[in-house]
Chain A
Amino acid sequence: MCCVHDTIAFEQRGIPGAVIITQAFTKAAEFQFRAKGMPTHPYVVLPHPISNLSTPDMQTLTAQYVAQVVRHLTA
């Protein structure tokens, strides 16, 4: 999917990239990272679906993943 594509584009320019996806698209993300030569690139997986969450609930859920995002962006 295009988020993965964009993340790869950042990595190729020397910019560490973190990507947030939802559960239903983990295989697609793995496939794309592998196909483009980055099989070990990590990604953050949110439970699916999220489209029906209220904004406060979405914010609360996101906050639970910040530490993971930081781990993906730092050494």
Chain B
Amino acid sequence: MAETLGFIDPTAGGDVARIPLARRPMDLAGATVGLLDNTKEQGDVILHTLGSVLQERYGVARVVLQRKEHYSKPAAPALIEAMAQEVTVAIAAVGG
């Protein structure tokens, strides 16, 4: 870059490798749904409601609810790892 421009361009990023989405199941019958509550206001209400309706109407077998330490911080890798071992799909709320 320096050779072409004559100066340094420190712009972040560049080409980002595409990450494929995880394979989706056909439906949620018998699924275990992970509910990740980031503790932002209303997140718990949203997730409890989703969990209930998914169990009542979409055949979800079980929900696993986890609360993070604070809404602005990513979940600890260990928490994600543990949930990933236990659930079929996951829902994270609420971003904002």
Contacts and interface: CB of A to CB of B under 8 A. Distances in A.
Given A37-B17, A62-B49, A17 B22 contact: yes
B65 interface: no
Given A29-B95, A62-B46, A2 B19 contact: no
Interface string B22-64: 1111111000001010100110011001100110011000000
B27 to A, nearest CB: 6
Contacts of A34: 16
Contact of B92 (A19, A22, A50, A53): A19
A50 to B, nearest CB: 5
Contacts of A18: 89-92
A67 B94 CA distance: 17
| Tier of interface size on chain A | 35 or more
Contact of B21 (A11, A63, A70): A11
B22 A10 contact: yes
B10 interface: no
A69 B50 contact: yes
Interface of B: 13, 16-19, 21-28, 34, 36, 38, 41-42, 45-46, 49-50, 53-54, 57-58, 68, 71-75, 77, 80-81, 83-84, 87-96
7 contacts: A1-B95, A2-B68, A2-B95, A3-B93, A15-B83, A22-B94, A40-B21
